[in-house]
Amino acid sequence: MAGRIVEGLMVMLFKPGGADKDRFACYDRRAKVSDQGTGRRKIEKDIGNLCKRDRIAILVDATRNGQPCVSRRLNQRLSHPSFAADNTNARHDLPDPCDLCFMRVMDDIRNIMILTGAGVSAESGIGTFRDADGLWEQHRVEDVATPEGFARDPDLVLRFYDMRRDHIQKAQPNAAHWALGHLDSAWTGELLIVTQNVDDLHERAGARRLIHMHGEHLSAWCLACDARNQWRESLLDRPACPSCGAAALRPDIVWFGEMPYRMDEIEAALRNSDLFVSIGTSGAVYPAAGYVQTARYYGARTLELNLDPSQGNVMFHESRMGRAGDLVPRWVEEILG
């Protein structure tokens, strides 16, 4: 056991009934491992709902006094025997840390959720908008990305989004977009790409299983009839809504203080995913920034592909740093290969 690594936030699994038929400890997603700071680990139970998916647990030593591991059971990622039905005296062992790399057990990954951010589109010439000084294209966020800013100066907001809409239509998908489009067409399991981006580059690269949680530049929302219509022209001159004729269109963008779209579907995908991948996002904007923690809570493996470590980097099982146009095609080839 000496020198083995235990992640303090790793969700551990025990079946509520206790030991299984052959008296080996079984699993349950309602337990996790926490470091108490005293050289001991403790198994905390009853922190969540039992997951429906069956997967062999990786369990840890509850006392650091475990007997030598039975090699056959370790190879199968099973624990040492538990001689009490409630697992209270179970002694467990961890495999080598490299065994935790999900790429080694890819055969049990069926459902994938991917979160993409501005870093995916940056190589297509679409800026991340928000600079280090907090400005978006030289405008304060409060002025161009809030309902209050729109009410205060609608012309400024409409002019800003007209510019962005025009720019997006001239941009082209890059290698990361094309790789994810290929994954969408080739992956036979469940797949959902949730993007924080408001461009249409994922769609142009072939992605179909896609949610724009923050809205779309190429869509206009009518405040009079609540209709949303595809839109490529200017909104500054207050054109009529195609659905009701009212001059009440605004950009179909989720601004700060507004609820992201299709949250129920996103939550369901997180709950059912075997693998969660975050690509090109800073991890600074919620609720998307919390998805990695939610995915881990439900038992998914987690991977970050990013130019720099995100604010939630410590929550990922694996991180790969570099340009999205380099990392994403390699990862897609790896998972499909």
Neighbours of 261 (CB within 10 A): 16
Q: What is the pLDDT of residue 136?
A: 58
Q: What is the pLDDT of residue 108?
A: 82
Cis peptide leading into 147, omega within 30 of 0? no
Residues in the chain with pLDDT values less than 50 = 1-102, 104, 133-134
Q: Which residues contact 225 (CB under 8 A, 6 or more apart)?
A: 241, 243, 244, 246, 248
Q: What is the pLDDT of residue 319?
A: 95
Contact of 303 with 100, CB cutoff 8 Å = no
Q: What's at 108, amino acid-wise?
A: D
User: Angle, nearest 10°, between helix axes 324-336 and 175-186?
Assistant: 20
Residue 103 DSSP symbol: G
First to last CA, the chain: 35
Q: What is the pLDDT of residue 45?
A: 32
Q: Hey, what are 60's tokens?
A: 């840890």
22: left (phi over 0), alpha (psi -120 to 50) or beta: alpha
What is the H or E stretch that residue 184 is in? helix 175-186
The residue written with tokens 């905390």 in the block is: 44
Distance CA 35, CA 232 (A): 54
Q: What is the pLDDT of residue 337?
A: 85
Residues classed as catalytic: 214
Q: What is the pLDDT of residue 6?
A: 31
Q: What is the pTM of this model?
A: 0.69
- The residue among 82, 243, 231 whose CA lies nearest residue 166 is 231
43-to-69, 111, 317 alpha-carbon distances in Å = 19, 28, 20
